[in-house]
Structures are given as structure tokens and as C-alpha cells.
Structure 1
Amino acid sequence: MLRHSRLLSRLRPRSVAPGLSVLLLAGVLAVAGAQSPPVASGTAALAHVATLSQQIGPRPAGSPAYIRATEYVTEQFQRLGYRVEPQAFPFQFFDEPYLPILTVVAPVDLVLHPATMIYSTATPEDGVEAELVDVGLGREEDLRGKRLDGKVAFAGRGQIRFSEKASSAAAAGASAIIIFNNQPGPAQTGTLLTPSRIPVVMIPYGEGLRLGAWLAAGPVRVHLVIRTVTERRSSANVIAVKPGTSSPQEVVVVGAHLDTVPPSPGANDNASGVAAVLEVARLLAEVPTARTIHFVAFGAEELGLIGSSYYVANRTLAVTGMVNLDMVGHGSQVLISNSAGTGSLLDVAERVAGRLALPVRRLRLGSSDHESFERGGVPVVFIHTGDDDVIHTPQDVYARIDPNLLAQAASLAAALIVEIAR
């Protein structure tokens, strides 16, 4: 998932009787005409998470690991009897063959723990060594009238995009920019959307506080080394097709992104969402629907929603609704949202959740593949289970995934798809 604002920390789940949501899902499917309807299995979904995050691991778009992930997802869809259509698209590949090195060389010697931002340019081979300059939040107004002349900019995270901070620093003559996180936890990478003019890294919140304190007391000098690869490649979405019975020219999409950022095994972000989509596909394999359903594993979401944008731009059928599953394996409760926080499809999702006796909270969230569909005029619902401080880091691992949340998210998605595809 693309980085977004933190969710409200006050969110707390209401209690749900174990298994109740999936039992009621069976009733929903039975009404829709299924024979001996299956129920969502958190255990089955968890097995998909294990394969994607443990056996395959980090899955950057265009990488050999991503190709293995598409092969796995394709095989799972085919086992369920679906026709699978890969959809290739071009994109700007990014990789980091070596971890970045960032050290403070004055007033003390200290090794820091940076994360390279996606599409950061590399440093020269021997790195960049220069004085650090505090530029506030790195906004244009923070840098107005400043000439950095080869110095390294030091900016807090927030208010504007990472790319805007990098562009403002580069325009002021900085040789690199260090962004420090605005919340506790490890440094998290994110995308600059396009290749930057200067090297860009993020450091953890605690390390940012230390650097800020030293800067307030006197000069600070740092040394940064980054190795990156950026080149044109192709990646692919994986589309499993369930033909509609009476309105096959109309399509409902349920999808999740399959790719990760380079250092992360991506258990929650987003093996969990892909696992939930596979479970929805299993639940609906024998359920007739009037409209066609596309089950989609999107590529290159982490680079800027590239795969989903390509799908929307190249659609040949009328897409009447989209359900997006991203980060549904860790958190407090099931959340439903879109970029506006309003809309008829969100109302439908709330009613369906009520029939499942599943407590949900409505929020306003973007930063995932549903945004591509919203821009294309398609009603959407984004299913999510809460913010997660370790996404985009090596700590996003299988052991943190809650199978009950997987089952709840898959149950809601399946029942919602039945509702809007009938």
C-alpha cells in the first residue's frame, strides 16, 4: 500500500462471535443460489500469505520474485476453474542491490538506519559527504531564499509528497535529502513516483530527533552511500474471469496488489489482500452472478498504482463497481472506505456487513488501487483492517497475520460482490 496518513488511534473493535460472520455469509450465498455454500477460511487464506511472504518473499514489480508470485496466483485461480488472462504493462523498474549506508561523521561517529525511497537516484560511488541543513518540512516556503550549495537537506515527514520535498531541496542546490519519519518505528520506504534528481532516504523518528537536537547545538556532517537501478521493464496484472450469466458485458472487480517494496516480504502489505481475493474466488466459484467478475492481482501498486491505472485505462467492458483489499491481516477491525468517505457502494457495504453481524467503521482513505478506479468514475469500496507501523519494512512478516481478520475481510468482500454482481 502506498503510504497514507495514520488512521485514528481511537479505533477499537467491537466483539464478534467467532465464526459468526462466515456462517452468515453462507446464508447470503444461499440466498444468491449457491448449493452447499462454502464459508471463508482464515486458515486457507493464511496458507497463501505464507507462500507469498515466506517462500517467495519480497516481490518488487518486474523482479523474478514477482514473476513467481504471478505464477502462484495464476495456478490458484486455475485450480478453481477460472480462465486467467495476464495483462502486461510497461513501467519504470526500481531496485536497490545494496542497503544504503548513512553515517554521522560530526559531531559524533554514528551509524544510522535509513530506507531508500523508491526512484531515488544513486549517490556517486564514494557517496555524498556534506553538512546537514534543517529545512523544516521541505516545503517550497521552507526553502524560499535558501541556497544549500551541495549540503544535505534534513526534512520532517508530512504535509506534502516525498517527491515535492526532494524537488524543492534539489532546486535549492542540495546534494541529497534525508527525511525523518513522523511516528515511532523503523524507517519506511515510499515512492517518489518518478526518478529524483538527488538521493533521497528516510530515517526512523528517533534518529531524526537526535539529528535535530545536534543541529540545534551546532554543525552536523553526514556521509550517505546509495546504489540504485532504474530502467524500463514490463510487469503484469493477473486477471481471473468469471463470466456473467445475463449481463456479461458489465464487470465487477475485486482486487489486491501483489507487489511489495524491495526490502519487505509484504505479509500484510499485501499478501493478506491477495490471499483474501483468492478466498473470495473460492467462495464464489460455483455461485452464478448476472455480471462478470474479474478477480485481479494488480502489479506495481507500490510504484504509484501503475497496474490498476493500466487496467482502468484499457478496460473494454463497463466496470460497475470495484472492491479493493489491501492490508487486511493485521489491526483492530474491518474498515471500509474510499477517497471521499461517502458513496452508494459504501452504503451497500455497510448493509452487507450488518447482515453478517460484522462491525465495520467507515473512513476516508486513498493511497491504494481503488483510487485508479475512482479516477475512472467507478464506485469503489476499500476493505482494510487498520494502520500498520511496519509495512514497507523487513518486519512485515507472516507471524503477525491474524487469520480471523483475513476471514472477516474475505467474508465481507464475497458477500458484497454477490450483492453488486447479481
Structure 2
Amino acid sequence: MSTARPSRRHGAIAATAAAALIAGATPAAMAASPNANNNTSKKLRQAVSAEGIMEHLRALDAIGKANGDTRASGTPGYDKSVDYVVQKLRAAGYSPTVQPFEFPYFADNAPAVLERVSPNPATLGTGTFTFSGSGDVTAAVQAVDINLEGSRASTSGCESTDFAGFKAGNIALIQRGTCAFGDKAVNAEAAGASAVIIFNQGNSPTREDLMIGTLGGPVTKLPVVGASFADGASLAAAGTVARVKTDTVSQMRTTYNVFAETKAGDPNNVVMTGAHLDSVAAGVGINDNGSGSATILEVAEQMAKVKPTNKVRFAWWGAEELGLLGSEHYVANLSEEEQKKIGLYLNFDMVGSPNYVRFVYDGDNSRYGEGQAAIGPEGSGAIEDMFHDYFASVGLASEETPFSGRSDYGPFIEVGIPSGGLFTGAEDVKNAKQAEIFGGEAGVAYDKCYHQACDDISNISVKGLDEMSDAVAHAILTYAFDSRTVNGRGEGRPVSPPGQHVDGTPVNTSGSSEGGGLHDHEHEPEA
């Protein structure tokens, strides 16, 4: 990298990077023969076309819309998405494997209702806790060891003894604090409560925010809803009667990861790449994350004839939207020996945002340090450098995004596997400097349909997808033949002509401290 942005591994990168990158963009529309051996960066980038990726995205869009307008794990839309990927991989000559795993499924079928029936009838702001049960309950409200003074953190509902004297059939009014929400709900159910209202702490700076969280799993059949501190305090008045209504599905279901790998290549130095295949329940998820899934599927198809130095393993993850469950299951079930065989992991989650920025994960934590992001394992900075250098070589700017651990690379970096990847932005808003550099519209979210029903086939920037997919193809093929810059192993031949290295430096657009939105799958507090 440039001297303006040194990397911990700069020396090793500089020594080998001339063989790693190619200058000059190649039109993605140039189709390659289906039997081509796309064993150079130029050939593979020519073969991996935006139209090929869009063909897959149109198929995923149709699958979702024919199956309840969702491709969420645990639904027919997801299962048929798995079938589609497997079919395409087999047709390309791979022998894909499907890994089933159990997971806690949750869907909120309708908005929650919280009403004060008496005294002073009113409809209060509320929301359903993830993994809440279903029910429509009207009953007396009984406070459980709450603290309305705001002088200390609440332990409300954390112990079974908190429910001493609780009248069975009442609605339990419980306060946030100290223990997990699921523990509070379980204790309330054991005490005979008919429903649970959890409201915010009085000593919190966000005390008037609506309190909504997760129970951590399907631990209770009771309807569980949230409330602000003020509304919770009003419900604590003696003689209050309330109505709580939820309509949910909360149960254990089976979902799947999909894998395919090249027949050739060193099985002791695996280059792994992945994207989550599932959507949220609210929509068909074409940018999030059909875009990443379709891109690596197109790369896999176009690499079918390649015989790499290092084995390449492609992965499509299930249940990412519920907390990286598919990738966590996979990594947790690898032996230590199998983990060590994975030389690096590349993650592609949202690479077609309509108001996009070319974000690269900050693998060496040069911009987002400790406390702002996870620490990338040794070698992650080299992956980041490779992406910035590639973009610079084709005349495109790139920017860093936090290595937050909140997409499917998270489980890999936790066990020390070097990781990296690309991202085009989620719910965060593009600033004026980014619009000047990357194009698009300032003051508008990178993806204004993030986690919404409108994330369908119309929610893709084909231009952005074309640019990002070329970088994806280049990265996978580069490391398929030579991973020395990352882990010192996998010595092979360069995939680009030597002498064409460009030393790329990411831009830093002040005012974009979050790097596109963290794609946060831990947005619901547990306690």
C-alpha cells in the first residue's frame, strides 16, 4: 500500500503484489465459452457477467414471490433457493453438498398491540419481542419488582422469588435489566402469567425509547411485548387493566448450508468464499443477499474448468439473518485440524446496493480500531490491500467499512482464519463526499429497501454489481493460485501478468463513520 496507509504486512505484499493485480477494466459483457478454462483474472472477469448474475437474481426473485414473498430460512422460499443453487452447481459439473441444521425460527405475522383498557383507555407504542408466543390477552397488570426511581439498574423478573404473590392469569409488568429477557419471560410463565410487558429502565439515557428485544429462542408460549419507561410506569398504577396481542410463529425448524468445491487444488490450503442465501421474513432479499449469492454462483460456474493450486470451496449460508447461524454451525463443527486447512475466507454480503459505495472490510483495523470493530486475524490486512489495489488498478475508488464481525466472516475470524470481503452499503445514508466520489445520491440510504419488502429485482444497481463482481472474481482466482501474501502458503503462478501492480489507497470520506451501516444482526438487545 501507499506510505500514507501502511499495513502490518506491507513488506510481504509489496514483494509479491506485482503478480497479484491487473490494470485496466475488461467489459463484463464479453461472454466466454462454457467450456473455457478461465484461469487468469482477465479471462474470469470477462466470463463473469452482470447479465449472468442478473439471471440468477431473477430466478431468486421469482422463487421468493411464488412462495409467500420471502426466502427466509425455514420457509419454502428458502428451500427452493437451495434447490436452485444445487441444480446450477450440478449442471456446472460440481458435486454440491447440503448441510442441514436445526435453528430457532421466528416470524411476526402482524404488528403487536398494547392497550391500556382502564383507567384512561389508550393505545400505547409497542413491538413484539423476537421469539414471543402468540395470544390475545386482556387482564389485570401486576408489576414484578420494578424500580421507577431510576436510581439503580433493575433486577425485575430475574429470580423466581420476584414473583412471590403473583396472581395467576395476570399480565406481568417487568423491567429491563440485569438478566436476559428470555429468563424474565420463563420466570413469568412459571408464575402463571398470561402475558408479559417488558419496559425500559429509568436510569437509561434512552429510557423513553420503545423497549424491544429478543428472548434468545422459543423459550415461552406467552405473548411478550415491549414498552417505553413512561408507558411502563403508567401501567404500574394499581388497578390497571391492559390488552396484549401478538401473532407469531416461534419454533425449531431445519434449514441448510450449501457447499461446492473444485476437484483440483491443495485440500490443506482451502480458499473459501461465501454469501448468505436467506432473506429476512419481510421480503425476497435480492440485494440482501441474493446479490452476493448470485455473484459467487456465477463465479463458481465460470471456474468449473479451472484447476487451481489451492482448493476453492464455495458456501451459501442459511439463517444468517437470525444471527449468522449457518456459518456458526459450520465453523463450530469443524475440527481444529479442519479449521487450519482453511487458508482464508472471503465474504460477499450485499454487493449490488442501488446507491452504492465500493466498501472493503478494514482487515488491518487501520481506520476502525479496537472498540469499533473486530480485530482481523493476521493476513486479513493483506486481503483488504488486495481489494483496494485491484480497484485502483481499474481506475475505481474504494473505501473502508468496519470489520464488525456481523456478517458470515464473523465465525471465521473468531477462530483465527484470515478474512475479508466487499459490501456496497445498507441502511446508512450516503454523504455528499461519497456521492462526489462514487456517484449516486447524497442524503439517501445506500439501500433504502434494506430489510424491506421492496428489496426485489428492482433494487439492484447493475453497474455496481458489474464492478463488484469483477473484484470478487479477481480475488477468488488470485488466491486460488497463490495465497502467499495472506498466509505464506499456496505458492503457485500469478493469474495476472507481472509488472502491472497498482498501489491503491482507500478514500476516507469524513462524516461516514459507520462505513455503510454495520449490517447489524445483533440489533436486538438480549438484556
- For the superposition of Structure 1 and Structure 2, which TM-score range results when normalised by the shorter chain? 0.7 to 0.9
Unaligned stretches of 5+ in structure 2? 1-23, 31-36, 364-372, 429-448, 482-527
* Of 305, 310, 334, the match for 2:358: 334
Q: 2:400 aligns with which of 358, 361, 365?
A: 361
Aligned residue among 382, 394, 401 for 1:347: 382
Q: 2:261 — aligned with what?
A: 241
2:153 paired with 1:142? yes
The CA distance in 2 between the partners of 1:54 and 1:63, in whole Å, is: 15
**Residues 170 and 235 (structure 1), Cα distance of their counterparts in 2 relative to 1, 3 Å cut:** closer
Structure 1 residues 316-341: Cα deviation after superposition (integer angstroms, max 9, x where no partner): 74111111111222253122226525
Q: Is the Cα contact below 8 Å between 1:131 and 1:222 reproduced in 2?
A: no
Question: Alpha carbons of 1:299 and 1:341: their partners in 2 closer, same or farther (altered >3 Å)?
Answer: same
Structure 1 length normalisation: TM-score? 0.72
Shift, 1:269, TM fit: 2.2
Partner of 1:400: 459
Q: Name whichever structure is richer in strand by fraction.
A: 1
Instruction: Tell me the CA shift for residue 313 of structure 1.
Output: 3.1
Q: Which of 272, 277, 280 is the equivalent residue of 1:258?
A: 277
Change (3 A) 1:302 1:33: closer
Counterparts in 2 of 1:300 and 1:36: CA distance versus 1, 3 Å: closer
2:137 to 126, 151, 171: 126
Give, as a single letter, the amino acid of the residue that structure 1 aligns with 2:357: Q
Amino acid across the alignment from 1:323: L
- TM-score w.r.t. length of structure 2: 0.59
CA offsets, 1:99-130, max 9 Å, x none?
Answer: 2431444656448684x444x23144536774
> Does structure 1 residue 385 correspond to structure 2 residue 412?
no
SS of equivalent residue, structure 1 residue 38: helix
SS of the residue 1:369 aligns to = coil
Q: 1:79 matched to which residue of 2? A: 91
* Counterpart position of 1:414: 473
Mapped to 2, the partners of 1:31 and 1:140 lie a distance apart of 66
- Alpha-carbon spacing, 1:421–1:401, altered in 2? closer, same or farther (3 Å): same
Moved more, 168-177 or 381-390: 168-177
> What percentage of aligned pairs have identical amino acids?
26
For 1:128 and 1:372, how far apart are their aligned partners in 2?
Answer: 44
Q: Which has the higher contact order (CA 8 A, sep 6+)?
A: 1
Residue identity matched to 2:319: A
Structure 2 residue 79 is the aligned partner of structure 1 residue 60: no
SS in 2 for 1:297: strand
2:314 to 295, 318, 323: 295
Worse overlay, 193-202 or 301-310? 193-202
Report deviation, 1:152: 4.3
2:196 corresponding residue in structure 1: 175
Q: Deviation of residue 352 (structure 1)?
A: 3.5
In 1, the alpha carbon distance for the partners of 2:294 and 2:103 equals 25
Shift in alpha-carbon separation, 1:74–1:129, aligned structure 2, 3 A: farther
**Aligned-pair Cα RMSD in Å:** 4.3
Alpha-carbon contact 1:252-1:292 (below 8 Å) kept? yes
Q: 1:24 to 1:271 in 2, by over 3 A?
A: closer
* Alpha-carbon offset, residue 365 of structure 1: 1.4
- The number of residue pairs the alignment matches comes to 378
Contact 1:283 1:414 (8 Å CA) reproduced? no
Match of 2:57 among 27, 42, 49: 49
Choose the corresponding residue for 1:325, options 329, 344, 348: 348
| Equivalent residue runs for 1:135-284 within 5 Å | 142-144=153-155, 150-152=171-173, 164-165=180-181, 167=183, 175-177=196-198, 192-197=215-220, 199-201=223-225, 223-245=243-265, 247-284=266-303
Distance 2:60 2:270 in 1: 27
What letter matches 1:279 in structure 2? Answer: E
In structure 2, do the counterparts of structure 1 residues 131 and 336 end up closer, same or farther at CA, with 3 Å as the change threshold? farther
DSSP-derived class of the 2:464 partner:
helix
Is this contact kept in 1: 2:38–2:47, CA < 8 A? no
CA 1:322–1:170: 2 relative to 1, 3 Å: same
Following the alignment from structure 2 to structure 1, what is the Cα–Cα distance between the partners of residues 321 and 183?
20
**Change beyond 3 A, Cα 1:171–1:278:** same
What is the letter of the counterpart of residue 288 of structure 1?
K
